Copies of this chain bind each other. A is one copy, B any other.
Amino acid sequence: MKRLKAIIMYDGFGFAGYQIQPNARTVQHELEKVLTKMHKGMNVRVVASGRTDAGVHAIGQVIHFDTALQFPITRWQRALNVQLPGDIRVLSVEEVSSDFHARYGTIGKVYRYKWGLGDVESPFKRHYVVHAPGFKPDIQRMREAAQSFLGTHDFTSFCSARTEVIDRVRTIKRLELIENDEDELHMVIEGDGFLYNMVRIIAGNLWEVGIGRREPSEMSVMLAAEDRKRAGKTAPAQGLYLESVFYVD
């Protein structure tokens, strides 16, 4: 038996999210279906760095699974991609030690949130960026507000009220707002871990600052309140990408 770690990418549009649930198309189900077939019907369980919600995309999701199959590590990527649907791709597969754990071993993650800023919403991006034609956010104000999230804070105000985790203290190492030449604004956020909906609630609040509905100074006040009801809206799922996941080497 050996443990394999894979980096995968998926278009979240066609999925009810990462995690298996009855009567819904999920990323985990598609992965396990292919692996179980490769293992002649023996059920293979896939563990991911974390779940992603319906409509959320991944560029660098990390998974692990155990296998007794003997074929060479170099063949795995292609073998999986041939059988997986086109909206999931495996970018790499490597053998790791049996104590590697895709979920419990994470020491950091990077997420990206994409907004479209053009006058007209591109038909090609409607499932991949969040677009509010007519709104022109003040990016300097958003950058000012973003400063409040850097460092270590209790993020109770910035996670779903349904969050079950008790310890809501997380550290944000990087929070950048970047404009690109395709009329998009990206928020790139790196932290040691993220609570449920945390990235989308931070994105939603920064957007509200950008369009003048909130002041940059409100962010610190909301954080201090430790109450989800005090912070603004959760940004829509289709703008969110899990970009990379870090582990101890």
Contacts and interface: CB of A to CB of B under 8 A. Distances in A.
Nearest to A134: B78
A194 interface: no
A236 to B, nearest CB: 13
Interface in A184-213: none
A124 B91 contact: no
A45 B59 CA distance: 44
B86 A124 contact: no
Interface residues on A, range: 10 to 19
B11 A123 contact: yes
Contact of A126 (B86, B90, B121): B86
Contacts of A120: 9, 81, 89-91
Contact of A89 (B10, B91, B122): B122
Contact of A124 (B57, B123, B133): B57
Given A89-B120, A89-B123, A90-B120, 12 more contacts: A9-B120, A9-B123, A11-B124, A11-B126, A57-B124, A81-B133, A86-B123, A87-B123, A87-B126, A88-B123, A89-B121, A124-B128
